[in-house]
C-alpha cells in the first residue's frame, strides 16, 4: 500500500476533528517529501533561485570526504580538434536522474547523472560556435511538458528535456532572436553568459553587451516559456518619463549602452521579487558623454517578477568609471540582528564589499555611508563627488597597498615596482583613472567573482572566494580621427585596437571574461575570416565595417604581430578634431617585468563572513603557485574564477584556482580536508546532488595549461564503495 492510500484509508475511519488533523499531517508530510527531493537535486543554476550555492545533502561530510573518488568523466564530443577555449564555466543542473549541461562550444547535452553516459545532444547553431562563455541552462516543467532553455549567439532556444528536440511552439522553430528590441533588430548585439531564472511561466533574462562606446543597452526582459513572446522589458537606461531618466543626458536612452545584467539573478518566489545586479554603463572608464549618476548602472534592482515593475533599487557605484560591475547574483539570506529576523540579500562586489539590504525595502541592514571621493582630472569628465561605503562587513579583499606590500623577488624587481607604485595616483578604490596613471585595487577582475558566495542558512555564514588583482589605469587622449602617416602598419593597427577593441579583449589581447583571447588568432582563423567577423560582427561584437575600410592590413598586422617595419602610406584628410579618452591599460594586470605579481601573497583568498554580525570568521589563501611559493610559508593563493558550494555535511567545495586543484575545507575553520588533482583548471562552480541514495559532486574542467585550454570535461565524484 502506498503512503497516500494508507493515509486515505486510515483517515476515513476517524472522527471529523481527527480527519482534519490527519489531513494537515498528510499535507505536511507530502510537502516535506517534495522539499526533501528538491534538496537532493541541483535543478537550478547555483543550486536554487536563492543563488546560495548551498546543498542540504550530508552523505559526504567531514568524516569521510577523504574517501571521494572519481565516479565518471563526461567529455563533450562536439569540440573540434583545433578548438581553444579560455574558460569552461558550466554549472550543470540535475533533474531526477538526468544532468543537463553545455559544452564550451555551446552544445546542449543530457547525460545520465549516475554514469555520465550521453542521452542526447542538441546543436543550437548547426555547426558554428555560439561564442563566449555560457555558465549553464534553465529547466522548466509545466502543463505536462519539460523544457531546457539554452542561449547561443543572439538566440534563446527551447528544447524538449526528454527528446533533445527544439520546441516548435516556441518562437520560430524553437528559438527567439534576443537582438530584437521593441520589434526592431538592433545594430549592436547581445548574448547571454549566465542562465536566466524561471518564475511561473516566465523566463527572465539579462544580457552580455560590448564594453565599448556604441554598445547595446542592457535591458532586462521576460519571455513566456511556452511561446517565446516578450512579456515585459525593464529599461536599465531609462526612457523619457521613466524613473531615473534624469540621471543621464536627455538623449542617452537612444545611444547609451551597458548597465546590463551579465552575472545572473536571484528570486524570492514567495514574494514574487527578482533581484538583478547590473554592470557599468559604457564606455567603462570615461563618461563625459553620460554625465550624471547613471541609473540603473551598478545597481541592485528589485523587480516585480510578473510585471517587471521597479520595487526598489540600490546603486553601489555612481557614474562608474572603474568597470566596477556587480559580478554575481545576490544571496538571499536571513539575518538575525538585535533581536530581529530580517529577510535580506547579500550582494558581493568587485571592490570587496558586501551590501546587505532588506529584501522588501532595500534599506541597509548595516549602515552604508556616502563618503567624499577624489574627483577626476580628465577634461570633460565629471566624476561623482561621493560613493557608498558599507561599514559592515569589512572588505574581504585588499583595497589599497603601500611600498610595504610589494613582493621582493629580487632587489631589482622591488626597486622597479617601487618606482612605478610611487608614481601612481591612489586615494582609495574610487581614485579616477588618469593620464598620469592610477592604481586600481582590487581591480576590475578583483574582489568577488561570478561564482559569488555560498551561504549556509544554518549558521548565517557566507563563504566567498576573491582576487587581489591590482591594475594600472592610464588614460590617453585620442583624436577620433587622425592621420596615419609616418607610423608602421603594426602601430596603426595597435591604435585601432586600443580605441575599439581593448575594452573587451584586454590591452594584452588575452581576453576578458566572456570575450575570447586574440593571442595567435592567426593560427585559428585565416585573414579573410578575421576581416569577415570585423565586418559582420559576431556574438556581442558589433560590426566595424564602417571603421575598417582601408585599414584592413593595419589591423591584420597588429593581430598577427607583423608589419613593424612597414610604414603606412596613405593620403588621408582629417577634418574631425574631436577627442575622447581611453584607458590604454584597461584590464591589464600590475605585474613585474617578467610577469610576477607585484604584491605580497595571498593573491587569492577564501573568506567566511558571519552575516548576522558582519564579522569575518576566518580567511585563508585559496590556491598555490608552486613556482613562486617560498618553503615554510603559507600558500600563495592564485587568481580564481567560479565559486564555492557549502553543504550540510560541514564542507566547502571549491576549485576555481589556476593550480588544477579541487578542494574541500571545513566550513567552521577553513581547514583543508581533501584535495584532488584535476586534469585541468576547475574554473567553475561545483554542483552536488543525490540519485538512488548516492551523493555526487561534479565540476567542469578546462583541460590544458594556464588559460589556453584544449578541451572541456565534467568530472563527477562519489564516496568509494
Residues 90-103: what's their mean pLDDT? 97
Q: How far apart are CA 35 and CA 533, in angstroms?
A: 48
Secondary-structure breakdown of the chain: helix, strand, coil percentages, each rounded to the nearest 5? 15, 35, 50
Nearest to 690 by CA among 1, 246, 58: 58
> How high is the pLDDT of residue 517?
75
Q: How many CB atoms lie within 10 A of CB 407?
A: 18
Structural domain includes residue 670:
yes
Lowest mean pLDDT among 50-59, 439-448, 576-585: 576-585
Q: How far apart are CA 688 and CA 699, in angstroms?
A: 9
Together in a domain, 204 and 270: yes
Together in a domain, 164 and 22: no
Structural domain includes residue 434:
no
Q: Which residues contact 540 (CB under 8 A, 6 or more apart)?
A: 131, 132, 189, 190, 191, 208, 209, 210, 216, 504, 514, 515
Structural domain includes residue 382:
yes
> How high is the pLDDT of residue 556?
80
Q: How far apart are CA 299 and CA 206, in angstroms?
A: 13
- Locate cell 596613405: which residue? 570
Q: Among positive and negative, which fits the CA dihedral 243, 285, 135, 651?
A: negative
Together in a domain, 642 and 550: no
Give the domain CATH number at 548. Answer: 1.10.760.10
Instruction: Tell me the C-alpha to C-alpha distance, in Å, between residue 406 and each of 312, 318, 597, 652.
Output: 42, 31, 9, 31
pLDDT per position as a tens digit, 562-584: 877 777 765 455 555 577 888 88
The phi and psi torsions of 528 (rounded to 5 degrees) equal: -65, -35
State the cell numbers at 211.
Answer: 564594453
Together in a domain, 449 and 493: no
Structural domain includes residue 385:
yes
> How high is the pLDDT of residue 23?
46
Structural domain includes residue 473:
no
Residue 124 belongs to domain spanning: 54-399+441-468+602-719
Pair 658, 647: CB distance under 8 Å = no
Instruction: Indicate whether 144 pLDDT > 70.
Output: yes
Instruction: Indicate whether 349 pLDDT > 90.
Output: yes
Q: What is the share, in percent, of the chain residues with pLDDT greater than 70?
A: 85
Together in a domain, 78 and 11: no
Together in a domain, 116 and 21: no
Q: Which residues contact 175 (CB under 8 A, 6 or more apart)?
A: 124, 155, 156, 157, 158, 166, 228
> How high is the pLDDT of residue 564?
75
Together in a domain, 544 and 674: no
Q: pLDDT confidence of 601, banded at 50, 70, 90?
A: very high
Together in a domain, 331 and 359: yes
Together in a domain, 539 and 622: no
Together in a domain, 272 and 127: yes
Lowest mean pLDDT among 249-253, 353-357, 577-581: 577-581
Q: pLDDT confidence of 384, banded at 50, 70, 90?
A: very high
Structural domain includes residue 463:
yes
Structural domain includes residue 423:
no
pLDDT per position as a tens digit, 493-514: 777 787 667 766 777 777 665 5
Instruction: Indicate whether 1 pLDDT > 60.
Output: no
Q: pLDDT confidence of 9, banded at 50, 70, 90?
A: very low
What is the average pLDDT value for the chain, to the nearest integer? 88
> How high is the pLDDT of residue 155?
92
pLDDT per position as a tens digit, 630-662: 999 999 999 999 999 999 999 999 999 999 999
> How high is the pLDDT of residue 179?
87
Together in a domain, 35 and 61: no
Residues 239-250: what's their mean pLDDT? 97
Instruction: Indicate whether 553 pLDDT > 90.
Output: no
pLDDT per position as a tens digit, 146-172: 999 999 988 999 999 999 999 999 999
Q: How far apart are the first and last CA of the chain?
A: 32
pLDDT per position as a tens digit, 187-225: 667 789 999 999 999 999 999 887 777 788 999 999 999
> How high is the pLDDT of residue 583?
86
Instruction: Indicate whether 717 pLDDT > 70.
Output: yes
Together in a domain, 557 and 612: no
* Alpha carbons within 13 A on the beta-carbon side of 34: 6
Tell if the pTM clears 0.85, that is, is over it.
Answer: yes
Structural domain includes residue 420:
no
Q: What is the share, in percent, of the chain residues with pLDDT greater than 90?
A: 69
Could you give the number of structural domains in the chain?
3
> How high is the pLDDT of residue 131?
57
Q: pLDDT confidence of 544, banded at 50, 70, 90?
A: low
Helix or strand holding residue 221 (H, E): strand 220-224
pLDDT per position as a tens digit, 10-44: 344 445 444 444 444 444 444 444 444 545 889 99
Residues 62-67: what's their mean pLDDT? 98
> How high is the pLDDT of residue 503?
62
pLDDT per position as a tens digit, 479-495: 765 555 567 878 777 77
Give the domain CATH number at 447. Answer: 2.140.10.10
Pair 333, 455: CB distance under 8 Å = yes
Q: What is the DSSP string of 130-182?
A: --S-----EEEEETTEEEEEEEETTEEEEEETTT--B-TTSTBTTEEETTEET
Pair 665, 65: CB distance under 8 Å = no
Amino acid at each position: 500500500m502506498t503512503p497516500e492510500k494508507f493515509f486515505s484509508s486510515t483517515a476515513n475511519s476517524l472522527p471529523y476533528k481527527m480527519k482534519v488533523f490527519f489531513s494537515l499531517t498528510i499535507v505536511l508530510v507530502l510537502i516535506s517529501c517534495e522539499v526533501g527531493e528538491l534538496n537532493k537535486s541541483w535543478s537550478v543554476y547555483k543550486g536554487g533561485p536563492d543563488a546560495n550555492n548551498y546543498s542540504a545533502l550530508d552523505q559526504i561530510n567531514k568524516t569521510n570526504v577523504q574517501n571521494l573518488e572519481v565516479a565518471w568523466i563526461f567529455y563533450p564530443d562536439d569540440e573540434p580538434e583545433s578548438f581553444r577555449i579560455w574558460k569552461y564555466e558550466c554549472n550543470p543542473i540535475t533533474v531526477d536522474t538526468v544532468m543537463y549541461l553545455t559544452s564550451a562550444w555551446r552544445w546542449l547535452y543530457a547525460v545520465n547523472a549516475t554514469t555520465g553516459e550521453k542521452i542526447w545532444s542538441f546543436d543550437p547553431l548547426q555547426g558554428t560556435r555560439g561564442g563566449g562563455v555560457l555558465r549553464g541552462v534553465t529547466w522548466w516543467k509545466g502543463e505536462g511538458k519539460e523544457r531546457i532553455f539554452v542561449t547561443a549567439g543572439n538566440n534563446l532556444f527551447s528544447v524538449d528535456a526528454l527528446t533533445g528536440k527544439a520546441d516548435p511552439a516556441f518562437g520560430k522553430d524553437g528559438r527567439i532572436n534576443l537582438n530584437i528590441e521593441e520589434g526592431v533588430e538592433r545594430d549592436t548585439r547581445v548574448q547571454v553568459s549566465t542562465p536566466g531564472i524561471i518564475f511561473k511561466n516566465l523566463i527572465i533574462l539579462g544580457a552580455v553587451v560590448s564594453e565599448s562606446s556604441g554598445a547595446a543597452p542592457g535591458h532586462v526582459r521576460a519571455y513566456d516559456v511556452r511561446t517565446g513572446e516578450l512579456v515585459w522589458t525593464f529599461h536599465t537606461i531609462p526612457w523619457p518619463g521613466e524613473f531615473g531618466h534624469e540621471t543621464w543626458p536627455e538623449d542617452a536612452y537612444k545611444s547609451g549602452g551597458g548597465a546590463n545584467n551579465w552575472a545572473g539573478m536571484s528570486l524570492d518566489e514567495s514574494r514574487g521579487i527578482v533581484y538583478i545586479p547590473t554592470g557599468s554603463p559604457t564606455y567603462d572608464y570615461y563618461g563625459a558623454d553620460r554625465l550624471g549618476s547613471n541609473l540603473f548602472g551598478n545597481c541592485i534592482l528589485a523587480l516585480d517578477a510578473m510585471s517587471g515593475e521597479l520595487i526598489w533599487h540600490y546603486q553601489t557605484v555612481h557614474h562608474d568609471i572603474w568597470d566596477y560591475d556587480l559580478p554575481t547574483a545576490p544571496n538571499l539570506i536571513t539575518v538575525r540582528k538585535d533581536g530581529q529576523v530580517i529577510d535580506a540579500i547579500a550582494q558581493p562586489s568587485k571592490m570587496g564589499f558586501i551590501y546587505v539590504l532588506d529584501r522588501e525595502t532595500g534599506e541597509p541592514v548595516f549602515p552604508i555611508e556616502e563618503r567624499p571621493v577624489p574627483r577626476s582630472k580628465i577634461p570633460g569628465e565629471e566624476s561623482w563627488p561621493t560613493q557608498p561605503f558599507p561599514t559592515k562587513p569589512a572588505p574581504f579583499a585588499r583595497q589599497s597597498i603601500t611600498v610595504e606590500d610589494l613582493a621582493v623577488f629580487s632587489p631589482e624587481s622591488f626597486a622597479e615596482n617601487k618606482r612605478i607604485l610611487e608614481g601612481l595616483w591612489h586615494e582609495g578604490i574610487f581614485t579616477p583613472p588618469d593620464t598620469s596613471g592610477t592604481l586600481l585595487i582590487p581591480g576590475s577582475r578583483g574582489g568577488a567573482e561570478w561564482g559569488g558566495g555560498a551561504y549556509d542558512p544554518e549558521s548565517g555564514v557566507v563563504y566567498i572566494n576573491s582576487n587581489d588583482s591590482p591594475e594600472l589605469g592610464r588614460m590617453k587622449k585620442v583624436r577620433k580621427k587622425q592621420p596615419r602617416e609616418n607610423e608602421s602598419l603594426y602601430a596603426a593597427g595597435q591604435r585601432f585596437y586600443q580605441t575599439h577593441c581593448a575594452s573587451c579583449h584586454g590591452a594584452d589581447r588575452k581576453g576578458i571574461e566572456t570575450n575570447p583571447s586574440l593571442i595567435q588568432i592567426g593560427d585559428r582563423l585565416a585573414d579573410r575570416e578575421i576581416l569577415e567577423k570585423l565586418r559582420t560582427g559576431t556574438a556581442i561584437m558589433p560590426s566595424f565595417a564602417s571603421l575598417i575600410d582601408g585599414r584592413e592590413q593595419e589591423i591584420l598586422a597588429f593581430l598577427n604581430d607583423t608589419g613593424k617595419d612597414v610604414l603606412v602610406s596613405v593620403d588621408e584628410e582629417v577634418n574631425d578634431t574631436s577627442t575622447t579618452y581611453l584607458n590604454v591599460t584597461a584590464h591589464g594586470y600590475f605585474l613585474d617585468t617578467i610577469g610576477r605579481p607585484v604584491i605580497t601573497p595571498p593573491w587569492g583568498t577564501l573568506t567566511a563572513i558571519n552575516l548576522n554580525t558582519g564579522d569575518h570568521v576566518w580567511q585563508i589563501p585559496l590556491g598555490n603557485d608552486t613556482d613562486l611559493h617560498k618553503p615554510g610559508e603559507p600558500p600563495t593563493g592564485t587568481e580564481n574564477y567560479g565559486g564555492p558550494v557549502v553543504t550540510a555535511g560541514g564542507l566547502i567545495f571549491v576549485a576555481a584556482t589556476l593550480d588544477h586543484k579541487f578542494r574541500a575545507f571545513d566550513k567552521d575553520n577553513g581547514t583543508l580536508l581533501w584535495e584532488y588533482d584535476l586534469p585541468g583548471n576547475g574554473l567553475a562552480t561545483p554542483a552536488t546532488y543525490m540519485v538512488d541514495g548516492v551523493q555526487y559532486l561534479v565540476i567542469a574542467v578546462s583541460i590544458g595549461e594556464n588559460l589556453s585550454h584544449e578541451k572541456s570535461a565534467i568530472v563527477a565524484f562519489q564516496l568509494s564503495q
